[in-house]
Amino acid sequence: MKPQWVIAGILVMAATAGAIVVSTWRGKDDDQSDALRRAIDDGRARNVILFLGDGMGDSEITIARNYQAGANGRLWMDTFLLTGEYTTYAVQESNPSLIDYVTDSAASGTGWATGFKTSNGRVSSIAGTGNAVTSLTTILELAQKAGLRTGNVSTAEITDATPAVLDAHINERGCHGPANMANCAPYKKENGGPGSIAEQSVDHKVNVLLGGGRARFAQLITGGPFVGKTVIQSAQANGYTYVDSAAALDMASSSHVLGLFNAGNMSLEWSGLLATPSPGSGLPAGQTCLENQRPSNEPSLAAMTSKAIDLLDDDANSGKWREHGEGSHRNRKGFFLQVEGASIDKQDHVERPCEQIGETIAFDRAIKIGLDFARNHPDTLIIVTADHAHTSQIVPVPAATDLTRPGTLSTLLTKGDRSLMTINYGTRAHGQSQDHTGAQVRIAAQGPQAANIVGVTNQTDLFHTMAHALGLE
Ligand SMILES: [Zn+2]
């Protein structure tokens, strides 16, 4: 990796038989050793912001980077100096001492949210306990107990598995709302349980809940003091301000905000063509994605992240954190915020590369908001990771007549360097939901105690990294 010629201090270029070889080695002046030394801080974190890219394995990151910024470009999530990898897996419900090597978001989320492995489909509840009411304490619950403010943001239904693992405990992730409780009978309120995921999330009094899933919260509660009311009405009775549009979210300023911007999952940022079986990948010129497809009444993930930070950091200085420094805090405790880019996973399942990339870029823009906040608030631990790997792969560009490729293919013309890149979805036949995969995924961090993510860790270690940084264990 030793550079032979340094040009402009940035690029090393060598002409080889007419080809240009480019290295991004930055040379001696850009040696990272000092920056890494400075980045390691063993102090206490006041705030934690966890950015969770659902299904955002190394392959999904690389695909989005290549398309958006080119092979030598970098996303915001690539700028963290401290990175590691962590293993993801679940345990088996029938015998929790055995491993399930491919996890879903519920079991993996339970891992990072509670420090305990569970089986696929479970939301912060103990593997092997059937539909009995069991709970594993979450990082959000510990933060609340210590007086920190809490927030949960997602582009999925806010009752979906990843956000749910923080503020609900239930045996089956499908029990979103009071009308979806067929597999969770002991959890129903009329049976003395804590209710569906939607009910539990507002009963938890999480300060900021932003995402999709309005239809779940419009269902009628079937037991307890709010029987016959909707979950939204119960939230309002408990002090929540409810908003359902980007404009209303901008105006919100109370200590508890419930924002539901779509009946189901939130709308996608980009659109494009479905991957197709070989040789139909056609597209010899490569497809170009259509951007800016999200309706304006739904906020972007970056806008939700920015507003969540405004609401959680300091009511009185709402919107001012970009200018003010540490001194303006009035002895308030910090906050814990989770931000999920949910539809990276969902579009990977349905073989749609443009939609998948658009959601990855939207997630990256939300990370930029967190980095901006941390610049004035260095006592903020920021973590960027995924819950599991996924099916999409970068494969050689096929000949139009190639009949030997399994799975489905889509060729894209990358924006950054105008090259062709072919994506393959091959864990299932075309039209079926593509599978998660079992590879380790990236974890990156900055801020107090970020060094604990370096190396190869286990997903459950992330719970302890966050809890220890906040002084909660
Ligand atoms: Zn998935």
pLDDT tens digits, 187-201: 999 999 999 999 999
Structure-block tokens of residue 278:
């070989």
pLDDT value at 7 more than 60: no
Q: What is the mean pLDDT of the chain?
A: 91
CA of 282 to the centre of ligand 1 (A): 27
Structure-block tokens of residue 36:
């890494």
pLDDT tens track for 313-327: 964 444 454 454 444
Structure-block tokens of residue 452:
């604990």
CA of 433 to the centre of ligand 1 (A): 9
CA of 4 to the centre of ligand 1 (A): 45
Contact 300, 268 (CB under 8 A): no
Give SS3 for 157: strand
- What region, left, alpha or beta, does residue 274 occupy, with left being phi > 0 and alpha being psi -120 to 50 degrees? beta
Structure-block tokens of residue 357:
């990339």
Q: How many residues does the chain have?
A: 473
pLDDT bin (cut points 50, 70, 90) of residue 31 is confident
- Percent of the chain scoring above 70 in pLDDT: 89
pLDDT at position 346: 98
CA of 105 to the centre of ligand 1 (A): 7
The least confident of 23-37, 240-254, 260-274 is 23-37
Our measurement of the distance from residue 247's CA atom to the centroid of its chain's CA atoms, rounded to an integer in Å, reads: 24
Task: Over range 391-420, report the average pLDDT.
Answer: 90
pLDDT bin (cut points 50, 70, 90) of residue 32 is confident
pLDDT bin (cut points 50, 70, 90) of residue 185 is very high
Task: Over range 226-240, report the average pLDDT.
Answer: 98
pLDDT value at 19 more than 60: no
Closest listed residue to residue 118, CA positions, set 139, 159, 89, 140:
89
Q: Is the peptide bond between 279 and the residue preceding it cis, with omega within 30 degrees of 0? A: yes
CA of 157 to the centre of ligand 1 (A): 13
CA of 3 to the centre of ligand 1 (A): 42
CA distance 431 to 437: 18
pLDDT at position 9: 38
The least confident of 150-159, 256-265, 272-281, 411-420 is 272-281
Residues with a catalytic annotation lie at 105
pLDDT at position 282: 54
pLDDT at position 20: 55
CA of 108 to the centre of ligand 1 (A): 11
User: What angle do helix axes 461-469 and 105-114 make, rounded to 10 degrees?
Assistant: 40
Task: Identify the residue whose tokens are 């990151």.
Answer: 61
Task: Over range 140-165, report the average pLDDT.
Answer: 98
Q: Higher confidence at residue 1 or residue 75?
A: 75
CA distance 296 to 298: 5
Task: Over range 424-429, report the average pLDDT.
Answer: 95
Largest CA distance in the chain: 78
Task: Over range 110-132, report the average pLDDT.
Answer: 98
CA of 473 to the centre of ligand 1 (A): 31
CA of 391 to the centre of ligand 1 (A): 10
